[in-house]
Amino acid sequence: MNIRTVSLCIIRKDNLILVEEMRDDAVKKTFYRLVGGTVEYGENSKQTVIREVKEEIHADITEPKLLFIIENIFPYLDQVGHEVDFIYGAELVDNSLYFKDEIEGMEGNNPYKAVWKPLEGFLNNQEEKLVPDGLLELLLEQERDFISHVKHIRTT
């Protein structure tokens, strides 16, 4: 199996993130992945995330900003999967999409639904998992860092 290069997009709505929902009945677990896909030959990761969001959920995004790079080595069927994931942050240009509970998506010829999920819902959850591995921890750390930079000043 080859190393796969992937670009994924964090799209936030308050404390929720937009994720692709995939059920694996073999392991009785639902996996959630950010919208995005494989980098094509001759394309950089930023071009990929813009193209993939457009292809998958028919939406344009604002200028994406690279937030994380995750090297992910994981079991896949009877083999080992190996991905390098470029994780970008962006916003949807069409604000009406933020008011939908689900957004219809298409991965190749396979339809899926993109749903809004809270990060905390993945903590200690044996039935639902955010992938790639390590992403949840990075996002939670990012939120904690943001909160720790908030200062409360009392003037009395």
**At 10, is the secondary structure helix, strand, or coil?**
strand
Instruction: Determine the pLDDT at residue 75.
Output: 81
Q: Closest by alpha carbon to 83, among 72, 94, 99, 96?
A: 72
C-alpha–C-alpha distance, residues 55 and 21, integer Å? 17
Residues of the chain with pLDDT under 50: 149-156
* Integer CA distances (angstroms), 34 to 5, 52, 102, 112, 122, in order: 14, 11, 14, 12, 14
Check if CATH label 3.90.79.10 holds for domain 4-148.
yes
Instruction: Determine the pLDDT at residue 147.
Output: 55
Q: What is the pTM of this model?
A: 0.88
In the block, tokens 């000043």 appear at: 153
Beta bridge partners of 86: 7, 69
In the block, tokens 């190996």 appear at: 82
C-alpha–C-alpha distance, residues 35 and 26, integer Å? 23
Instruction: Determine the pLDDT at residue 148.
Output: 53
